Structure 1
Amino acid sequence: EGGNAIEAMVAMAATIAVVYPHMNAIGGDGFWLVHEPGGKVHAIEACGPAGALATIERYREKGHDSIPSRGADAAVTVAGAVGGWQAALELAKALGGKMPVRDLLADAITHCDAGYAVSDSELRTWPQEA
C-alpha cells in the first residue's frame, strides 16, 4: 500500500503482539537495525529504563536477597517496545514513509475485535501464566 519496510515491521510487530503475545508483546523491549539502501545503518535501542524504585536498598528493605521472579517487585524496567515503534516510525518518515498509524495498526485491531486462532505454543503457556 505504499509503505516502506520500517512501516511494515511496525504493522507486523503490532499484529504479532496481539496474535502471539506470549512471545512478542508490548510489555517487552525492542532492538532495531535499519540498513538504508545507500549503506547507512541506524540502530534503535528500545529497552526501557530501570524504575526509580528498583534499587538494591529497596529490595533489601522488603526482605529480598535477590529480585523476585514473580510479582510487582519482579518488574525492574519499563517496557520499551511501543517507544521503539514510535522511534522507528519517525525514522520511516525521515526516509519517505507516509503510512498513517491507523492503517499500520488496522490488522492488529481487527484481530482484537474479531479474535484469532490460538497457536499450540500459546495454548501450552496459558496454564503457566494463570
Structure 2
Amino acid sequence: MKAARALRASLLAAALAASTLPAPAQDCCDPAGPFRKGEAYADEPATCETIGDWIDRVPDYDGRLTMSIRGALSAVETDGTLAYLIMCEAPGVRVLCVTYSTNDMQPGDVVLFGGGYAPVDESRVMLDPCLAGAG
C-alpha cells in the first residue's frame, strides 16, 4: 500500500513537472511604437515619415488597438455630422481621422491623432473613432 502511494505521488510530481503552463500574456505593443492596447496614446507617435514602417509591423492583437500619429493636416472635410481629418500625402501612407468636429483645424496645422486602428489598404489607414488635437 505504501509503495503504491509512493508510486502515485512520484508519478503526479513528474506529471506536474512536465506539464506546460501557459506563458504569461505579453504586452502587444513595442514601447517605442505608435500602437497601444485599448484607448492609450503612445509616448512616441508615428509620423508621416515613419508610418509606412510601422504599419508593416502592426502588433498581432485581438482587441482594440489604438494608433497615435503626429503631423501636418493635408485635408479637412466635414459632412455636417462627422469631420474627416487627413494626414500625410500620397504616395506615402495617408491617415484618416474620423471625429466629430474640425475644431477650426486647417490644412497645414500640426496635430496629434489617436484612434482605433483600422487598415484600409497598403496606402491608407483609418482611425475611428479618433481624437485630434494640437500637436
Q: Tell me whether the two structures share a fold, i.e. TM-score over 0.5.
A: no
Higher helix share: 1
Give the TM-score normalised by the residue count of structure 1.
0.20
Larger Rg: 2
Higher strand share: 2
